Amino acid sequence: MSAYLVNHVYDSSGKKQSIDDVINEGENQAQWRISLSNEIGRLTKGEQNKVSYTDTMEFTQKSEIPKNKKVTYANFVLDYRPLKSEPLRVHLTVGGDKLDYAYDAGSPTTDLLEILVTCKTIRV
């Protein structure tokens, strides 16, 4: 039996569940398989459940990858969103730490001074 805490999926002993765990065992494996299928469909060219797709990803044989290109790993993140139409969610993320990227991939932040100025402006 799975427990859903803080939008993550754990088994009854408190161990965080993996994609293999949820699609191969438990009472919700059919729903997890549909969610996985929907996520792959969203990232590729669609699938039988008719989810909208982004054509972000395509499957390639290893022998077709040019020698000068790098490959990375996939990580499936499990999520429980009780207010969504599909509460059991699978998200595919890729290992960006293994790929080269020529541009700044950082997330800009603000400093405390900018926050204080904004707050003063709001109060006036």
Average pLDDT over residues 103-119: 63
- What whole-number distance in Å separates Cα of residue 108 and Cα of residue 117? 18
User: Which amino acid is located at 47 in the chain?
Assistant: E
47: which DSSP letter? -
- What whole-number distance in Å separates Cα of residue 3 and Cα of residue 10? 5
- What whole-number distance in Å separates Cα of residue 73 and Cα of residue 21? 19
- 95 or 40, greater pLDDT: 40
> For 19-77, how does the pLDDT look when each residue is reduced to its tens digit (9 = 90+)?
899 999 878 899 999 999 889 888 888 766 678 888 888 888 989 999 988 888 888 99
121, pLDDT greater than 60 = no
pTM (two decimals)? 0.70
- What whole-number distance in Å separates Cα of residue 34 and Cα of residue 37? 5
